């Protein structure tokens, strides 16, 4: 069983999946925060490789990406950091980035480097399954999960396509839009998750816009994992002092997910 | 071309977030449905004539030809189209399509402002809401066009991320589109972006080449030896090239922006100096660093100041059917002034790149040879920039 599959192999447990941009606000922060996230009950960590033109991201992650690029972060740096984190934490590490940095690195070379660094999966928001065949074949050979996304606009045909092809889990984008903390999750989220659940056997993880324990709890009642990004990045804005607030935030989310309310499956 | 998956050879495709994939499917189906819809094309033709002022003339620039001292130079006068550039052809076609699809909210990006103005005009005429994304830097250097868009009822949203130019305006338009995918039509202005845009924009712009073909046959009795057009994203070039692709004797030349010089790194010559990558939804040549980060570009003309290029141009470059050169800011300024003085025509700075190259070429060609230059837009919008570059205070 892959490390990602194992993370979902605990009945009744909802996975907590934080996203951090590598090198934001500094490389040291990434090396510090990921072990903290793991110790506060996170089950998988997404490490963002910054890209100059993050068109699926809202202002928070855009700014974190630009800052990381200003800090000189490259895909190479991110792979190195992932390798160092692999020594420190047991939970699965998933790299998230746009397609061009991966394409530019060379698909085969990139995936091999991922495998060497102990990376377990890849999320590439601008690579739909139609364009992902080549990368899929390469990742399979190296036992790395290529995780596809579904959105509220996805048609039944597309849901079937992603259910056939996504490995590790399926990333459900909660709302038509870009990443970013939101006050309200859409009313049709439950119906969307149910549509996917009918055809997909993979775990379903919901991301985009989740920033409070209440929202996490609502998502936990319909999904196997909750992904949190922008709110976490906001807490990391102050370079020196973020470990406390981040720990509190994640602990709060974990507690909300563990409360024995709601049903799963 | 393109194939069923939206590829021109190895270029093109649909590299977009999942949210947009169903929207692109819907768009492809709607556009496919137009092909047999005679009523749509009748309306498009009628409005092209009565609203846009088509056909635009093909003009033998006799004095410019004498100045160059060689091949005869014809100008395809897209500068005479409504709103001042070829951009109206695509804006009209897609505007009619959006209305047919029942979309009432139109978004678009703009660099020089020409596509923004064309979109604003079409939206005003068709009664559609219009929001234009424009880089903060371009808002300053093309302020006349910003004012025009607002007069036509468009909302102009300033984009302050990244290089604050066309690339970032497209990013922001795509973010809006992802957010409002269900009710918004993205009226993309060039032959870039995910399939079907590169094909659709080319088709709507190919009216330029179709007219040129008829006009040159009528006026010169034969096809031209060369067609020269400037290339940013590449829509005016694709529009004039496309109907000549099978005429192998007609050489197609795209002129990119060399900015301050290709060796300075401050340019926008994507096909000359870029390498293959993925930007804004399609695979094509891209100006990028060794890590795949998109580079900031420079050109005196906002319309060419873009690190990507349409996938069909990448295909034409690799196949050798078209060739690409680059012309610097300084040379474009020279072409600009030359056309003003020789012919009393003020070209857009974008088009001035093509003018400069055509004049340079013409001098070394025989008098029997024919060059057609796509004069893609007029230069009223560029007065401030040109005055400043020439050290004149207005």
pLDDT of residue B122 exceeding 90, the answer is yes
Closest residue, chain B, to A158 (C-alpha):
B22
The set of catalytic residues of B is 87, 109, 376
Place of tokens 């596509």: B115
By Cβ distance, the residue of B21, B179, B290 closest to A158 is: B21
Q: Report cis status (omega within 30 of 0) of the bond before A81.
A: no
pTM score of the predicted model: 0.97
Mutation target among B4, B5, B6, B15 for the A interface, most CBs of A within 10 A: B15
Residue B267 to chain A, least CA–CA distance (Å): 18
Q: What is the pLDDT of residues B356-384, one digit of tens each?
A: 999 999 999 999 999 999 999 999 999 99
Asked if pLDDT for residue B51 goes beyond 70, the answer is yes
Q: Would you state the pLDDT for residue B154? A: 98
Quote the CA–CA distance of A64 and A73 in Å, as a whole number: 11
CA distance B293 to chain A (A): 5
Nearest by CB: B17 against A74, A100, A125: A125
pLDDT one digit per residue (tens) for chain A, 265 residues:
789 999 999 999 999 999 999 999 999 999 999 999 999 999 999 999 999 999 999 999 999 999 999 999 999 999 999 999 999 999 999 999 999 999 999 999 999 999 999 999 999 999 999 999 999 999 999 999 999 999 999 999 999 999 999 999 999 999 999 999 999 999 999 999 999 999 999 999 999 999 999 999 999 999 999 999 999 999 998 767 899 999 999 999 999 999 876 544 4
Closest by alpha carbon to A85, among A40, A37, A124? A37
Interface of B with A in 314-353 (CB under 8 A): none
- Find the residue in A nearest to B277 (Cα): A100
| Chain B positions in Cβ-Cβ contact with residue A55 (cut-off 8 Å) | 17, 171, 174-175, 178, 280
Is residue B201 within 8 A of residue B312, CB to CB? The reply is no
Q: From chain A, which residues contact B within 8 Å (Cβ)?
A: 51-56, 58, 62, 66, 69, 74-76, 98-105, 125-128, 130-131, 148-155, 158, 162, 173, 176-178
Question: What's B295's DSSP letter?
Answer: P
- The residue of B7, B10, B21 whose CB has the most chain A CBs within 10 angstroms, and thus the best one to mutate to test that interface, is B21
Which of B17, B24, B107, B171 would best serve as a mutation to test chain A binding (most A beta carbons within 10 A)?
A: B17
Distance, CA of B113 to CA of B166 (rounded, Å): 10
Q: How far is B4 from B16, CA to CA, in rounded Å? A: 17
> So what's the pLDDT on residue A265?
42
Q: Which member of A69, A102, A127 has the closest CB to residue B293?
A: A69
Measured in angstroms, the CA of A7 and the nearest CA of chain B are apart by 25
Within 8 A of B290 by CB-CB distance, chain A residues are 104
Say whether A176 and B181 touch across the interface (CB within 8 A): yes
Asked if A104 and B288 come within 8 Å (Cβ–Cβ), the reply is: yes
Q: Domains in chain A, start-ordered, CATH in brackets?
A: 14-256 (3.20.20.70)
Catalytic pick among A43, A57, A120, A145? A57
Given this model, what pLDDT does residue A239 score? 65
Closest chain B C-alpha to A259 CA, distance in angstroms: 32
The answer to whether B294 contacts chain A (CB < 8 Å) is yes
Dihedral sign of CA atoms A20, A25, A26, A31 in order: negative
Q: Output the six-digit token pair for B351.
A: 């088009």
> Which token pair is A219?
């998502």
CB contacts < 8 A, A to B, total 116
Report the chain B residue with the minimal C-alpha distance to residue A58. B175
CA distance B286 to chain A (A): 10
- Predicted pLDDT of residue A264: 46
Query: Is the CA virtual torsion A226, A26, A99, A168 positive or negative?
Result: negative
Contact A55 B17 (CB under 8 A): yes
With a cut of 90, say whether residue B35 has pLDDT above it.
Answer: no
Cα distance between residue A11 and residue B203, in whole Å: 55
DSSP B157: E
Q: Which chain B residues touch A101 with a CB distance below 8 Å?
A: 291-293
Q: Which residue has the higher pLDDT, A263 or B66?
A: B66
Residue B77 forms beta bridges with which residues?
B375
Question: What pLDDT shows up at residue B137?
Answer: 94
Q: What is the pLDDT of residue A260?
A: 72
ipTM value > 0.95: yes
Per-residue confidence band for B91, with pLDDT thresholds at 50, 70 and 90: very high
Query: How far, rounded to the nearest angstrom, does the alpha carbon of residue A10 sit from its chain's CA centroid?
Result: 19
Which of B15, B20, B171 minimises the CB distance to A127?
B15
Report pLDDT digits (tens) over B247-279: 999 999 999 999 999 999 999 999 999 999 999
- In chain B, which residues have their Cβ closer than 8 Å to the Cβ of A156? none
For residue A178, give the nearest of B161, B179, B290 by CB distance. Answer: B179
- The answer to whether B390 faces chain A, any CB pair under 8 Å, is no
Burial of B129 (0-12, 13-18, 19+ CB in 10 A): middle
Question: Which positions in chain B touch A58 (Cβ < 8 Å)?
Answer: 175
Residue A46 annotated among the catalytic residues of the structure: yes
Using alpha carbons only, what angle is made at residue A69 by residues A64 and A70, rounded to the nearest 5 degrees? 95
Tokens of B218: 């009528």
């Amino acid at each position: 069983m892959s490390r990602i599959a194992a993370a979902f192999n605990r009945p009744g447990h909802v996975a907590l999946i934080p996203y951090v941009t590598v090198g934001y606000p500094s490389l040291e922060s990434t090396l510090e925060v990921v072990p903290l996230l793991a110790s506060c009950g996170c089950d998988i960590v997404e490490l963002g490789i910054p890209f100059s033109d993050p068109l699926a991201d809202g202002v928070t992650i855009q700014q974190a990406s630009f800052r990381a690029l200003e800090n000189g972060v490259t895909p190479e740096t991110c792979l190195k950091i992932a390798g160092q984190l692999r020594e420190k934490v047991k939970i699965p590490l998933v790299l998230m980035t746009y397609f061009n940095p991966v394409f530019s690195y060379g698909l085969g070379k990139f995936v091999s480097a991922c495998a060497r660094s102990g990376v377990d999966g890849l999320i590439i928001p601008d690579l739909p399954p139609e364009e992902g065949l080549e990368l899929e074949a390469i990742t399979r050979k190296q036992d790395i999960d290529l995780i596809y996304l579904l959105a509220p606009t996805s048609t039944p045909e597309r849901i079937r396509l992603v259910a056939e092809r996504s490995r590790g889990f399926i990333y459900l984008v909660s709302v038509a839009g870009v990443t970013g903390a939101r006050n309200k999750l859409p009313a049709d989220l439950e119906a969307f998750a149910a549509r996917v659940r009918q055809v997909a056997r993979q775990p379903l993880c919901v991301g985009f816009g989740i920033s409070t324990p209440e929202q996490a709890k609502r998502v936990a009642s319909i999904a196997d994992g909750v992904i949190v990004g922008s709110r976490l990045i906001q807490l990391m804005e102050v370079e020196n002092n973020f470990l406390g607030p981040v720990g509190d935030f994640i602990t709060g989310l974990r507690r909300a997910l563990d409360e024995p309310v709601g049903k799963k499956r | 071309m393109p194939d069923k998956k939206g590829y021109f050879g190895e270029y093109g495709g649909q590299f977009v977030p999942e949210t947009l994939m169903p929207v692109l499917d819907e768009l492809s189906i709607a556009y496919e449905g137009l092909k047999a819809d005679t009523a749509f094309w009748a309306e498009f033709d009628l409005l092209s004539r009565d609203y846009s002022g088509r056909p635009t003339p093909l003009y033998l620039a006799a004095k410019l030809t004498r100045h160059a001292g060689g091949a005869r130079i014809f100008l395809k006068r897209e500068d005479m189209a409504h709103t001042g550039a070829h951009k109206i052809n695509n804006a009209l076609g897609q505007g009619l399509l959006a209305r047919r699809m029942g979309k009432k909210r139109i978004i678009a990006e703009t660099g020089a402002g020409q596509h923004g103005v064309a979109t604003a005009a079409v939206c005003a005429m068709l009664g559609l809401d219009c929001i234009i994304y424009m880089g903060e830097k371009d808002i300053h250097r093309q302020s006349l066009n910003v004012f025009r868009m607002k007069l036509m009822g468009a909302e102009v949203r300033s984009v302050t991320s990244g290089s604050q130019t066309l690339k970032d305006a497209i990013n922001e338009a795509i973010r809006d589109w992802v957010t409002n995918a269900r009710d918004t039509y993205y009226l993309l202005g060039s032959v870039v972006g995910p399939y079907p845009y590169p094909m659709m924009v080319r088709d709507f712009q190919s009216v330029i080449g179709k007219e040129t073909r008829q006009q040159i046959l009528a006026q010169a009795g034969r096809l031209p030896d060369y067609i020269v057009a400037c290339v940013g994203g590449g829509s005016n070039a694709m529009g004039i090239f496309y109907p000549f692709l099978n005429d192998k004797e007609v050489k197609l030349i795209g002129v990119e922006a060399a900015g301050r010089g290709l060796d300075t790194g401050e340019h926008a010559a994507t096909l000359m100096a870029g390498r293959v990558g993925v930007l804004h939804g399609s695979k094509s040549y891209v100006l990028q660093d060794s890590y795949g980060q998109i580079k900031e570009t420079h050109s005196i003309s906002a319309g060419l100041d873009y690190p990507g290029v349409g996938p069909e141009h990448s295909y034409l470059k690799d196949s050798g059917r078209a060739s690409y050169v680059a012309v610097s800011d300084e040379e474009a300024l020279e072409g600009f002034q030359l056309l003003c003085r020789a012919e009393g025509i003020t070209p857009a700075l974008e088009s001035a790149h093509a003018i400069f190259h055509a004049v340079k070429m013409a001098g070394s060609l025989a008098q029997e040879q024919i060059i057609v230059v796509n004069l893609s837009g007029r230069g009223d919008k560029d007065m401030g920039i040109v005055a400043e570059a020439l050290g004149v205070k207005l």
